[in-house]
Amino acid sequence: MRHFLLSVILILGLTVDLHAQKAKENQFKIAFYNTENLFDTIDDPLKGDNDFLPTSKVAWTSDRYNHKILHIAKVLVAIDSLNLPAVIGLAEVENIAVLTDLINKTPLRKGNYQAILEEGSDPRGIDVALIFRKDVMHYVGHKAFPAALTFNTRSILYVKLMDAKKDTFHIFVNHWKSREGGSNETETKRIENAASLKHLTDSVLARNSKANIVIMGDFNDEPGNKSLAETLGALKPDQKITPTGLYNLMYLRFLNGEGTLYYKDWDLFDQIIVSGNLLSEKKHGKGATILPPYSTIFKQDWMLYKNKAGDMAPDRTASSKEYFGGFSDHLPVYVQVTNDK
């Protein structure tokens, strides 16, 4: 009887493991997070990193750097501690060394992530990046493209990945021109960013009208602004879905007054946009599909603080004058993908 019970326990354990493995292959999260100035402490003469050195006005020390990467990791792990996000796009990362520390010297190391970052032309030296779980996604290739031709800025990072069911994902990570100097005064530059991205996505869809495109980033514009709604043509996901259309999964949250950063009020700059093939109900069960509610803003009380106006806002790391020791001035966003093919 003892041997029989032991056999049953082993079989049950194996069944649970198989179900867990199947769930990991069939469902996974894709996330984006603006990390707010994830700089190392080393002076790079080719970058504008003078505000992030031990001798800076707000001293950027090794202790504060280590605290920062642990805080960023805490947020990303908390999105799903049982099954860490399979793909994470990041903004405001200084270099590949910082990214390597993030995935190897924090609890993210259990995710077996691979890091991708290409240096762009941003004057401050911050770039977009992507990490992905090598046990969930297969690397196919990547390339950085200029996001603009008339001014220096972050590149658009294109990464091609394949999931366990052999479905290919074309992922574009963005960080468009900021609104510093005025939103109206800088709008044309974000429109140029959008036009650059549109050219890339059109090229992918011209080769494969059913391509799975995932666009993520800090666009420094909201879903209804011209750059996103008109130039890129990202529509509300409640409209008729076509495989080649682009759909902003944050649009309805924007209309509901939600946001990912706070300046006098909530703004929704961090977004995930996908091609219609990932939303088509007719193909459900025959390939990768994003599950309703389509998008989530990850927002926990421990990531927030009460500002002078009495509102809860993202607890940031530092301002130009003061160190706060928080997480980021942005909140992350994510989507849940299923693939029952």
Contact 150, 183 (CB under 8 A): no
Domain limits at 148? 28-339
Query: Average of pLDDT values for 265-281?
Result: 93
pLDDT exceeds cutoff 70 at 10: no
DSSP single-letter state for residue 230:
I
CATH at residue 140: 3.60.10.10
Residue 227 lies in a domain: yes
- Angle between helix axes 96-104 and 62-79 (nearest 10 degrees) is 60
Average pLDDT across the chain, whole number: 92
pLDDT exceeds cutoff 50 at 19: no
Q: What is the pLDDT of residue 6?
A: 45
The whole-angstrom separation of Cα 303 and Cα 243 is 37
The number of distinct structural domains making up the chain is 1
pLDDT exceeds cutoff 60 at 134: yes
Residue 14 lies in a domain: no
Q: What is the pLDDT of residue 217?
A: 98
pLDDT exceeds cutoff 90 at 25: no
**301: burial class by Cβ within 10 Å (0-12, 13-18, 19+)?**
exposed
∠273-279-281 over CA atoms, to 5°?
170
Residue 42 lies in a domain: yes
Q: What is the pLDDT of residues 277-292, one digit of tens each?
A: 999 765 545 799 998 8
Contact 144, 128 (CB under 8 A): no
Residue 125 lies in a domain: yes
pLDDT exceeds cutoff 70 at 98: yes
Residue 97 lies in a domain: yes
Residue 12 lies in a domain: no
pLDDT exceeds cutoff 80 at 123: yes
State the pLDDT confidence band at 15, using cuts at 50, 70 and 90: very low
Residue 21 lies in a domain: no
Residue 36 lies in a domain: yes
The whole-angstrom separation of Cα 314 and Cα 261 is 7
